Chains A and B, each alone.
Chain A
């Protein structure tokens, strides 16, 4: 308790509040640029923190981290450019909402959900961080494999109205694209056609930008709908309006609560993280909704936006559990944070919260402050940011194309990536014209690599036996949930058919 008290006093110094505000502010802006995610944002900030106290440095970095995640959802919602894998699910419903003219509302929902997700996760951290270290180490490769399979069921959201086959084909395409590159299990390169640039596989960012942002911009050019003045005015009337009605809040509340808890626990697992958390929350909420609400998913559902947004923020805070209590980074971002910590001369581990209580707890306490700062900072800005969409298409479209291309190039400085991106976006436009959905492809791509690696690792460990599928309780439980989620629509259909028959 003394430690927590010490942490609160450290976090509440004017200097540290200033740091968390600067961090959130810088993170939000860097994160908004497609291509610059939390990793680049933090890498940019680390040199600045060298002269600071470790706690202030870490507080600043943590602020940048959730600021960047939050900023990433802004570009997902406004221009369908998810620069970070954790915000892909946000674009599923956030972008359709914005397209309908509710950009302000969508951003506001994202802000409220992120705030709640982050705050709930910080409460968990405060009361249970040391105890949760055990949870971090409870999942083995076979369990992660099952978790990825469960994540894939979120595809169902895009399979509505006779599109099932198309969604399935796109998922498989995504899984196939994930196999490009060096195979970890044998060290052999697959589908690289001897091309050096493909040895590390296709980058997520490149594929997401090509399939989402670039192809969307190109579709805008092709469709080039001429709107009458009245239509335009009607569309732009609500764009900056961020009022969320009482009914909508009521609809959101349970979704945000459930997704935050789920997101936090998935974030605690070093092999999962924010992306998986957001997909699982999205899939879960869809399964739990009524038949009528289900149809809205993927077309601008408020629940479909709130769920991944609360989950990914909660997961980000959750990922601090293995980082601080075990010294294990679960993602590229937390690996960079670990590097920063080591350069301050701090080795996180099981003894950190007893040896460095002020540092440990002040970071967690600063997360509350950070979340409040994010909300206060962003709500007044939303109307202005949302107005971006009111820009004439002739201006907006080239800007989107410019920023997506530059964003991808800035990460690798490799011109091959730009060619590949252009080719992918042209293919994506072709596929969209014949009504194939892009989201299942990106879902398959993100989950595919992790699914394969975990399955093959589990197989190596079990000497090739598949027994772990039913012998490990966690694996078996998750797989049972997966099967239930897949057949539940059939069961409910069966029952509703029966009821109808009886009615006759």
Chain B
């Protein structure tokens, strides 16, 4: 009890000092209203509530509130934040890679450009996974089989065709010199079911998030073939290190109302950046097994433009655009 109190006081004090130092640069963030475009218990919900919890408990932000608004694969919430911009200055919308994919697909008419970019906070890399006793021992085996007969390599994923699990798998094979169109993708209703499908043996390879299978890999339940990060992590080789030049990070980040003042964006950036050093954030991060990926407003913009270019090109090649 005592220690946590001391911690809190230290955090408060450092917050005050930081506040004094930065007050000349940016105004303090009093309250944040998180707009979550999905239901309770989902990934977006977890991110917003986790960040909110860390910000509030560490005293960086006094008041946090949350609102779930599902519908139209985020379209509903995006339209809402744009419509109510004048009175939603405190609102930030949580989203991830699908905002890029769905806007390209035309699921909703807006794109990330219609909103103010605040920052990205965490990321998950994508991996290809096989059974421990699979005939594919490494990435080279899969690639050989794919080049011989693309139909023979079936890849499971937890979402529909044209969504992230499919696109990233196609991106990996394209980077290896294959035709992304010939990638045989088998959609399941959810990540867990795709994993079950792969384990029953009806599909040999699974495309999924790194965080979903890391522990299962360590325990020998599955084997991760490669990860889409730039460098190898946790002893798992990146595709890049195996000669397939591919990079993909499924970010989660925040957006504000259109034309949000530069001052407010800067203030939000200061607060979010500080959050990473708080023990409260470490608790939340460790609890969820997230990887930090902080990108300030301007870095975030470049990153999103790059991602849009890559994914857009891929979707064209696949015939989705």
Contacts and interface: CB of A to CB of B under 8 A. Distances in A.
Interface of A: 39-40, 43, 136-141, 182-187, 189, 196-197, 199-200, 270-271, 322, 326-330, 332, 335-336, 338-339, 342-343, 345, 347, 349-351, 411-414, 416, 450, 453, 457, 460-461, 463
24 contacts: A43-B41, A140-B200, A185-B187, A187-B161, A187-B163, A187-B320, A196-B73, A196-B75, A196-B76, A199-B75, A271-B193, A322-B196, A336-B41, A342-B288, A347-B215, A412-B69, A412-B70, A414-B70, A457-B187, A457-B188, A460-B154, A460-B184, A461-B203, A463-B151
B107 interface: yes
A141 B202 contact: yes
Contact of B216 (A185, A347, A416): A347
Nearest to A138: B200
B268 interface: no
Interface in B172-226: 184, 186-190, 192-193, 195-197, 199-203, 215-216, 219, 221
B99 to A, nearest CB: 14
A410 B192 CA distance: 26
A136 B195 CA distance: 12
Nearest to B45: A43
Given A197-B71, A270-B193, A461-B203, A182 B160 contact: yes
A138 B202 CA distance: 10
B197 A330 contact: no
B221 A349 contact: yes
Contacts, number: 135
A337 to B, nearest CB: 10
A185 to B, nearest CB: 6
Given A350-B221, A412-B70, A327 B216 contact: yes
B216 A140 contact: no
B313 interface: no
A336 B43 CA distance: 11
Contact of B192 (A184, A189, A328): A328
A182 B186 CA distance: 15
Using C-beta atoms within 8 Å of the partner chain, give the interface range for chain B: 35 or more
Contact of B68 (A141, A187, A413): A413
Contact of A140 (B154, B159, B195, B197): B197
Interface of B: 39-41, 46, 67-73, 75-76, 79, 105, 107-108, 151, 154, 159-163, 166, 184, 186-190, 192-193, 195-197, 199-203, 215-216, 219, 221, 286-289, 320
A114 B162 CA distance: 42
Contacts of B161: 184-187
A412 B160 CA distance: 21
B219 A347 contact: yes
Contacts of A342: 287-289
Contacts of A140: 197, 200-202
Nearest to A44: B40
Given A140-B200, A196-B71, A39 B219 contact: no
Contacts of B190: 329, 335
Contacts of A412: 39, 68-71
A140 B186 CA distance: 13
Nearest to B190: A335
Given A137-B200, A460-B186, A461-B154, A39 B41 contact: yes
A327 B221 contact: yes
Q: Which of B73, B192, B199, B203 has the most CB of A within 10 A?
A: B192
A39 B195 CA distance: 21
